[in-house]
Amino acid sequence: MFEENQSFMIALSLYTLATISYFIFFVLRKEKLSNYGSILVKLGFVFHTISIANRTITAARLPLSNQYEFATSFAWGISLFYLFFERKYKYKLIGTFATPLILILIYYAAVQTKSINPLMPALQSNWLVVHVITAIFGYGAFAIACAISIMYIFKDNFKNDSFTKKHMPTIELLDTMSYRAIAIGFITLTLVIVTGAIWAEKAWGRYWQWDPKETWSFITWVIYSIYLHVRLNKGWKGKKAAWFSVIGFASILFTYIGVNTLLVGLHSYGIVFLPFSIF
């Protein structure tokens, strides 16, 4: 059968082709291509699942611990939610806005080292497994909410176009769809933070220390809670709320990629005066 790397590359290629199909569908208004796009994402998802399953078997644990493993799982989560939303709402145009987000993550995964490393003691925790699995589902939902919010902003600016009228949900439905996605995301993000805090308490002794990763997940959570309130407010409803959903997703990407590359965490400058620390 397919090896992990092989199926990963096939998935990556299929997602790329899907994105191109959806893009042409949208720009050149070729309706047929939206069906191809949809089939390509589904096929991509199958190979992606095979790749992740293979790695799980090889590593004898869920692939949730380094940048590559989390990025590929994150992309998988977006793909899963995309397919779910496409099936539920039957608007293929969502694909034009959602597949680029899958690509960002899967290409990011592709440039990371793929070596399988044994887990350091601090990462050997069931709480961590729950923490990361919920993160994948939550982030997947937020990605779709972001795609739908971009559609909203787009539709709001190009109201009279006949193609968008046919293929895009109404502005009210777009709002409801992104709210539903954010509701899933928000509940899971809260669970991610709570399980992360429980794990940190067991491993480090403090459940909340404001280290950059924690801080950014908190910032993300606050941004989405602002979205939820803004949506209740008549004057701010709609487009302004949609912007918060986009900013929220940018904050997620930063929490995941930016914090690791641009900021230092407590984990790397722990207050250890002894010569050799476990963490």
Partner 1 sequence: MNISKKKIFKFLKSMKFGLILLGILCLVAIIGSVVPQGRQEAFYLNTYSPLLAQLIISFKFNDIYHSSGFILLFIALSFNLILCSTVKLKNIIQKIKKFQLPPNQQQLKNPIYTTKYSSDAKIQHIFTNKGFNNINRISNSSEEIYFSNKNRIGYLGSWLIHIGILAIIICYSYGQYTFWSGSVYGVSGSSQKIEGTNYIMNINDFNIIYRDDGSVQQYITKATLKDKNGNELLSDEIYVNKPMRYEGYTLYQHSTGWAAKINIFKDDKSIGNEFIYDGTAYTNNEEFIIMQINHIYPDFVATKSGFGSKSNELNNPKILYSIFYGGQVVDMNIVSPNEDIHWQNFRFKFNTPEQYTYLSINKMNGKIGAIISSVILMTGLFLTFYLKPKQLIVKRKNDNIYVYGDYSFSSKNIFKSSYGSSNNLSI
- Where on the chain is the footprint of ligand HEM (CB under 6 A)? 222, 225, 228-229, 232
Residue 74 burial (C-beta neighbours within 10 Å; 0-12, 13-18, 19+):
buried
Q: Of the candidates 222, 237, 250, 267, which one interacts with partner 1 according to CB under 8 A? A: 222
Q: Minimal distance in Å, beta carbon 122 to partner 1?
A: 5
Residue nearer to ligand HEM on the CB measure, 88 or 229: 229
Binding to partner 1 (CB under 8 A): which residues in 101-140?
Answer: 117-118, 120-122, 124-125
The total of other beta-carbon atoms located within 10 Å of residue 126's CB is: 10
Using rule CB under 8 A, residue 62 touches partner 1: no
Nearer to partner 1, 1 or 277 (CB): 277
Checking 100-103 for CB contacts under 8 A at 24+ apart, the result is 100/19, 101/143, 101/146, 101/147, 101/249, 102/15, 102/19, 102/41, 102/44, 102/75, 102/78, 102/143, 103/15, 103/16, 103/19
205 interacts with partner 1 by CB under 8 A: yes
Q: Which does 56 bind (CB under 5 to 8 A by kind): ligand HEM, partner 1, none?
A: none
Minimal distance, residue 100 CB to partner 1, in Å:
26
**Cβ proximity to partner 1, 130 vs 226, nearer residue:** 226
Smallest CA-to-CA distance from 47 within 84, 10, 95 is with: 10
267 binds partner 1 (CB under 8 A): no
